[in-house]
Amino acid sequence: MTTPKRTSLLWGAWGGLALSLSLSLSCLGVQAGEPARLPDAGAIRPVATDDAVDDGAIEDGAVEAGAAGKGAVEDGATASVTSDIEVITERYANGAVSSRREVCQDDQGNFVNHGVYEAYDQTGNVIMSGQYDMGRATGSWSRSFRAIEGEVMAEIDKTFRGPYISTAQFKDGQLHGAWTIVSGSNQKIIEWQFAEGRPTGTWNWYYTNGHRRKEVSFNAEGDRHGIATDYAADGKIAREIEYVDGRYYFVKATNYKSGQKKSEGRYISARDSAVITYDWRTNKIKRDVLAKPGPDLKDGPWSWWYINGQLQMAGEFKEGTPVGKFTWWYENAQKQAEGEYVDGQMHGRWVTWHANGLKQSQGEYDSGTPVGKWQQWNADGRVAESQEYHDATSGRPIATAESDAGSKEQGSRRETVREKAGASDPAAVEPRRMDDEPQIARPPQEGTIRRARIPNRSGAPR
């Protein structure tokens, strides 16, 4: 085993100043990355400014950045150095140096980037610098660029001027710590934080006047979490969006053709399965979608209105499931129905009313199953039907009492009463469905209620 030699380098200039680097390098027993290859996360390759040529212009015979050594060690393998540090020089087609990097061999003979790396434009100015540890970027890296490039720069205040300086911290080849970009006049443009490649903490964007332009927070999993805020140039809040573990809330409203509001309520966005990669070298943000996202779900208060402006239905949802109290009204503002949901199931007391304000039906539910005594009345207030149920387990009736006391035609009378209850009062007929509301647990169905009847054994009104 050979001990790597001390290497002293004088590579180019940054802003006209010579950069002198003196390193004492030890490469024994270090975790290896991909040999002689720049890391995928926060990738770093030679990048020139406006007059730079592409990788294909590098002189033949030069070692191209990103090329893997023969017999590359797989990620996670442990390797140690078996050779001295060597300096590899790459060139543009015109012979100008495009980059210099230090490499050494691991215990399998693979060449890996290890030590100082610098890239230059064609006039010799340093445009990127950093250090590798056995093939993986580590510590502080910096680069300069002139054009507004990539998704990272897409949302910046376009009044900033270059050349831009981007500085980021790396650990084991991943972004870890602060990533900042400043303008040519050293004005801060963005300030982001990472932990092992994932966004973390609070990210900030800025205006040229120094005021914050945007603020977003992330949880430990790298998902947006909390209030994301957009600011106007004068510092006032322009917009706020609430995130919960990567999902965000938004309000949606629909209108009738007349312009009258038809519905309004809050949604929570679908879960995003995409894996997002931030490329420090190119300022690009890559999204790899692992699965098709599900639907956005109602979450929070919702209301619907008739075309005359009268409130038709009001209730609350939790991720698409009705919860708590729901209320319906007729177009004449009379209450039509009211009851509560627990985890999407009708529970507790449910009551419906005729359009004239008299009760139409009343009874109890236990997690969607009718229990106890249920009654129904005609629009004139006479008892139309009465039924009593066992507990929620059986749901079977234990007693029956017909309406219009004194009638002895029980069998036929029951059907007659039902027919009259539905036909004598138009309000007893199921109101029209609402197109923008999916079917939920009955009796409410898309902002409506069904005909008021004693519930059947399934727990849903018939």
Q: Determine the Cα–Cα distance for residues 197 and 275; give it in Å rounded to an integer.
A: 11
- Asked if residue 322 belongs to a domain, the reply is yes
- Ranges 37-41, 119-123, 334-338, 398-402: which has the least confidence: 37-41
CB 387 within 8 A of CB 395: no
Q: Of 93, 112, 131, which closes a domain? A: 112
Beta bridge partners of 437: none
Say what the pLDDT of residue 347 is.
Answer: 94
pLDDT at residue 148, rounded to an integer: 85
CATH number at residue 335: 3.90.930
In a domain, 314, yes or no: yes
In this structure, what token pair is assigned to residue 12?
A: 């180019």
**Structural domain ending residue among the three candidates 112, 142, 171:** 112
Position 283 pLDDT exceeds 70: yes
Task: Name the nearest CA neighbour of 376 among 414, 341, 408.
Answer: 414
| Confidence bin at 394 (pLDDT 50/70/90) | low
Of 396 and 126, which is predicted with more confidence?
126
pLDDT at 114: 95
Q: How many domains does the chain have?
A: 2
- How far is the C-alpha of 347 from the C-alpha of 354, rounded, in Å? 22
Q: Which residue has the tokens 């209108």?
A: 255
- Answer whether residue 158 is part of any domain: no
Query: pLDDT tens for residues 127-157?
Result: 999 999 999 999 999 999 988 888 999 888 8
Q: Is 175 inside any structural domain?
A: no
Closest C-alpha to 141, from 281, 284, 285, 282: 281
Q: Are residues 401 and 254 in the same domain?
A: yes
Least confident piece of the model among 236-240, 320-324, 441-445, 452-456: 441-445
Asked if residue 130 belongs to a domain, the reply is no
Does residue 433 have a pLDDT over 80?
A: no
Distance CA 457, CA 462 (A): 10
pLDDT tens, residue by residue, 165-214: 999 999 999 999 999 999 999 999 999 999 999 999 999 999 999 999 99
Residue 179 inside a domain? The answer is no
* Cα–Cα distance measured from residue 244 to residue 266, given in angstroms and rounded to the nearest whole number: 14
Q: What is the mean pLDDT of the chain?
A: 75
Q: Under a CB-based contact definition with an 8 Å cutoff, are residues 428 and 367 in contact?
A: no
User: Whole domain around residue 383: which residue ranges?
Assistant: 249-269+294-428
Q: State the Cα–Cα distance between residues 285 and 171, nearest whole angstrom.
A: 19
Q: Is residue 393 part of a domain?
A: yes
Residue 355's nearest CA partner among 452, 434, 458 is 452
Least confident of 144-148, 239-243, 261-265: 144-148
Whether residue 414 is predicted with pLDDT greater than 70 in this model: the reply is: no
Mean pLDDT lowest for which of 110-124, 188-202, 336-350, 431-445? 431-445
Which range has the top average pLDDT, 44-53, 180-189, 361-370? 180-189
Inform me whether the pLDDT recorded for 66 exceeds 70: no
Question: How far is 300 from 264, CA to CA, in rounded Å?
Answer: 11
Distance in angstroms (rounded) separating the CA atoms of residues 289 and 353: 50
Identify the domain boundary among 76, 96, 112.
112
Using H for helix, E for strand and C for coil, what is the string for the chain? CCCCCCEEEEEEEECCEEEEEEECCCCCCEECCCCCCCCCCCCCCCCCCCCCCCHHHCCCCCCCCCCCCCCCCCCCCEECCCCCCEEEEEECCCCCEEEEEEEEECCCCCEEEEEEEEEECCCCEEEEEEEEECCEEEEEEEEEECCCCHHHHHCCCCCCCCCEEEEEEEECCEEEEEEEEECCCCCEEEEEEEECCEECEEEEEECCCCCEEEEEEECCCCCECEEEEEECCCCCEEEEEEEECCEEEEEEEEECCCCCEEEEEEEECCCCCCEEEEECCCCEEEEECCCCCCCCEEEEEEEEECCCCCEEEEEEEECCEEEEEEEEECCCCCEEEEEEEECCEEEEEEEEECCCCCEEEEEEEECCEEEEEEEEECCCCCEEEEEEECCCCCCCEEEEEECCCCCCCHHHHHHHHHHHHHHCCHHHCCCCCCCCCCCCCCCCCCCCCCCCCCECCCCCEC
Per the model's pLDDT, the better-predicted residue between 409 and 439 turns out to be 409
Residue type, 114: H
Residue 337 near residue 317 (C-beta atoms within 8 A): no
Which of the four pLDDT bands, split at 50, 70 and 90, describes residue 271?
A: confident
User: Cis bond leading into 295, ω under 30°?
Assistant: no
Domain assignment present for 127: no
Query: Facing residues of 120 across strands?
Result: 126
